[in-house]
Copies of this chain bind each other. A is one copy, B any other.
């Protein structure tokens, strides 16, 4: 993973010429004044942790698994939001952990947490490092130091229960590794978020990830039937049945807890049979409203395709739904729907026939497999594009929310108006990528010309759009999470007593408050 950007540098994509011209002509984008620093120029704080504490940590995991070198520290600094990348490009390594510790077992995690609690060392659980909401930046004040707890060594497929269609896997597995291990058994999770290439299973659970095929395979939180969690006070082991009436569903307290309540060390996950067939197709609707109505109909009355997404007019015109073809600007393109079907040949045939009838009946124009294949081909490439845009002098960032169907038009308008008010005339694109019977997500991509201080520029815009989302009744995140960047808006969303619930849980599981301090919730 590129230390100051996304993914494999070899896959970096050049901006197509029409897009470059569009940026200049429409948004006034100009090359940034300060070029990005090189790796060697990143400024890191001195390691604050006392040698005695480091020795105790080494005793648990072995000296080779406590890393203090610049490379390890830089690679565990923050996540992959646009502000995170902007800071790295400026050489600001001030949030680097003092040490990166790699435990090899649940027992080692328990020991590490005990030691860190004793010496008041903040612990940032670290999976793929792909947070885009500041989920990897611990508060330092009042702590002896910060340790990044990298779970990369917990990367085993522990068991396969083919009868129950449940597998046990460790949290440090990256999604592609996990899919490869499952493929050997003819199984799949079906979880394909944009962060797929780098993110880990533990991160998916801790941040309630949702993949691009969530209509068919469910969100990641739907897949988790059991969890083992290491906390400073010991082990939590949850999930004896798919569903239960035995009290509150405590799995749902750990899911979305973003490392603030404990470290997930094992996951029992529902799996599906790997599909024999995959078909992705494009449909055109006259407007976002008409396309939304069609998605709603499929979500409420079925059949629901495995993949179902709708780009608004702007996103369709720019072609962001098909990053591989970006720049082939289409005038009057309406709104693009991608409908994908996965399963046995029989299932795919039946679902496709019935869903197509609904889409046609509601005004959709069938565009064939071209746009679908193009989407599938480019589905993980948008983050690479961002690096090119940042280098070019554009700020580009994404944000998302969700709401009930009747709230969505208001929510859509509120976000756009807020971004326009903060950023002048940015390019704002939107799509619906996750649908439910009662509502859907809205995912926005914003592009604007960088000012002299792009960090301050985005910070102001982000504050104002968070407020707009909360005021319009949406949730502050559909699948990115809370981290630090959404914490205040999240507190508004769940209210004072909602925050109290989180604090009550944290009191009991992490009384010293060492787990990801400042993320999700602040202590009393």
- Taking Cβ atoms with an 8 Å cutoff, the residues of A that contact B are 161, 163-166, 207-210, 219, 221, 225, 231, 233-238, 240-250, 252-258, 270, 273, 296, 300-302, 347, 401-407, 434, 436-441, 473-482, 486, 490, 493-498, 500-509, 520-521
Contact = CB atoms under 8 A, between A and B. Distances in A.
A425 B407 CA distance: 59
A471 to B, nearest CB: 11
A62 B287 CA distance: 55
25 contacts: A165-B405, A165-B437, A165-B438, A166-B438, A210-B243, A219-B243, A238-B498, A240-B402, A240-B493, A242-B402, A242-B438, A245-B256, A245-B479, A245-B482, A247-B258, A247-B502, A248-B255, A248-B256, A250-B498, A500-B508, A500-B509, A504-B505, A504-B507, A505-B505, A507-B507
Contacts of A438: 164-166, 225, 242, 270
Contacts of A233: 497, 500
Query: Which 10 residue pairs spanning A and B have beta carbons closest together?
Result: A252-B252, A504-B504, A242-B436, A241-B402, A504-B508, A208-B245, A244-B475, A164-B404, A500-B508, A164-B405
Contacts of A302: 347
Given A219-B243, A403-B241, A404-B166, A248 B509 contact: no
A440 B505 CA distance: 30
Given A242-B440, A249-B249, A302-B347, 4 more contacts: A241-B474, A247-B257, A249-B252, A504-B505
Contact of A437 (B242, B407, B506): B242
A403 to B, nearest CB: 5
Contacts of A480: 245
Task: Count identical subunits in the complex.
Answer: 2
Contacts of A476: 244, 246
Residue among A238, A246, A402 with most chain B CB within 10 A: A246
B240 A496 contact: no
Nearest to A241: B402
A248 B241 contact: no
A434 B241 CA distance: 12
Contacts of A503: 508
A242 B166 contact: no
Among A166, A233, A244, A502, the most chain B Cβ lie within 10 Å of the Cβ of A244
Contacts of A247: 256-258, 481-482, 490, 494, 502, 520-521
Given A246-B490, A256-B247, A505-B505, A236 B498 contact: yes
A435 to B, nearest CB: 9
B477 A244 contact: yes
A30 to B, nearest CB: 35
A434 to B, nearest CB: 8
A241 B475 contact: yes
Given A249-B252, A497-B235, A242 B505 contact: no
B505 A240 contact: no
A245 B210 contact: yes
A475 B240 CA distance: 6
Nearest to A255: B248
Contacts of A255: 248-249
A240 to B, nearest CB: 5
Most buried by B among A249, A477, A501, A509: A501
Contacts of A235: 495, 497
Nearest to A253: B248
Contacts of A497: 231, 233-236, 508-509
Contacts of A301: 273
A357 to B, nearest CB: 11
Given A486-B246, A500-B508, A495 B270 contact: no
Contacts of A477: 244-246
Contacts of A501: 236, 250, 253, 505, 508-509
Contacts of A490: 246-247
Contact of A248 (B254, B270, B347): B254
A405 B252 CA distance: 22
A509 B498 CA distance: 9
Contacts of A405: 161, 163-165
Given A252-B248, A508-B503, A241 B498 contact: no
Given A164-B438, A405-B164, A246 B504 contact: no
